[in-house]
Structure formats: C-alpha cells, structure tokens
Amino acid sequence: MGKADLKLAFCTARAANSAAKRWHYSGAIPVGKQVKLGVWEAERFVGCVTFGMGATHQARMFELEAREVAELTRVALARHDNPVSRIVRIALKLLTDVNPLLRIIVSFADPAHGHHGGIYQAGGWIYLGTSAPTVSYALGGKVYHNRSLSGGNFGGARVSKSEIARAKKILNPGKHRYAIALSRADRGILEQMRKPYPSRVKPSIEVPAYQTGEGGAIPTHALQSSEVSHAS
C-alpha cells in the first residue's frame, strides 16, 4: 500500500473511543478536552491519534502558557502499512492548522509496557528524560492507575480506601518524555533539555496481545461526514 492511500481527518469521540478500546493497551481515550483524528488506509478505518489540549503541567517545564502546549495522548492503530512516524507528522499538521498558538507538543512512552518511544525517535522528537514514578493497584483482575480510582477528571470508578488497602500495590517506573517544537525558535528551548535516546526494554508487566480488527470504508457508522468535528 502506498503513501497516497493514507488519509487523516477529524473524527468523533465515538470513533476514537472505539479505536482505543480495540487497538491501544489502555482501552480508552483520556478524559478532558481531546482533539481526535481518525486514520484511514485505502478507505479502511485503521485507528486514531488524539491530543490533549491545555497541557498546563507540561507547559510549566518550558515556561509557556497552557494553550501553547498540547500532549499527544494516544496512537491507537490496527495493522497498517504507513509508518507511524508519518501518521503522527500529518496529525501534527492538522492539529496546528486549527490551533496556531501551539508551540510545543509532548508525549510519553511507557517502559512498563515495553515502549521506549521508537516512533518519536523516528520522527525527530527530542528526549527529555523520564517523569516521576507512579503507583497502580491490582483489583479484581485488573490494574488501575492511582488517579483512576478516585473518579473525577481522570475518569474511572471511585474505590473505597479499604478496597485500595487490600489491593496489590504496583510501583510503575517513570515514563519516557518526548517533545517536538513547531518552530525553529522553540526548538532551541528543547535542545537545551535534550538527553540521549533510551533503548527498548522488556515490559515489566504483562502486555495484552496485539489486537486486530477491521475498520470500515469511508464513511463508517462512527464517522458520518455530519459528525466529523475536532470539538466532539
């Protein structure tokens, strides 16, 4: 399949959630304002790329305003032919076309799931080191991040303190943090923070098997033209 067969366009929350559930280990799109881009190859829906807007915590690292920084939150893809780095590059172009104030995009790779950020390295992103370690809990055969147990802005169900006390506590390593500047001037900010790229490591937790599934021709039931909107 050639490069001409690739198409990205804004999609609905329904389509993005379906892609994440089928093709991303997290099984969901993060709660909060997300820009959602569907991905098609030869008119077959093969997944989505999503961005979280207003990355306040990340913006502080660069002494920028929240509206100037976004986070690439999901790359959820079925089997596909185009390089992921190319898909992400097109997604960035579409994102900045409608959000011209953006200056830096950040993203994370989770070593606990065997990810070292290969797609970011291939795309020329700058490595900024790791985030702080986090805590998860094993409850009822599933693993939950500490923040997801309290509901609220992070989603998930509220769990009592007694249930958490009985759960198995898991210490997660910090995630690899990458960033890319959208202008030559801002690249200088990142270059001052650059660290050597990390290598691939063995996952520290059981990683779900790669999920396959068929998308649909354009338009699908989840992406009718009347529904397509980056604000959905």
| E strand or H helix that includes residue 143 | strand 142-145
pLDDT: which is higher, 177 or 207: 177
Tens digits of residue pLDDT in 206-216: 544 433 333 32
For residue 187, what are its two tokens? 């690249």
Whether 70 contacts 80, CB under 8 Å: no
> Domains in the chain and their CATH numbers?
1-127+175-232 (3.40.630.30), 134-172 (no CATH)
Q: Is the pLDDT of residue 219 over 80?
A: no
The H or E element spanning position 50 is strand 44-53
Residue 118: both structure tokens together: 């290969």
- Report the pLDDT value the prediction gives residue 62, as an integer from 0 to 100: 93
Cβ-in-10-Å burial (0-12, 13-18, 19+) of 86 comes to middle
Average predicted confidence (pLDDT) for the chain: 80
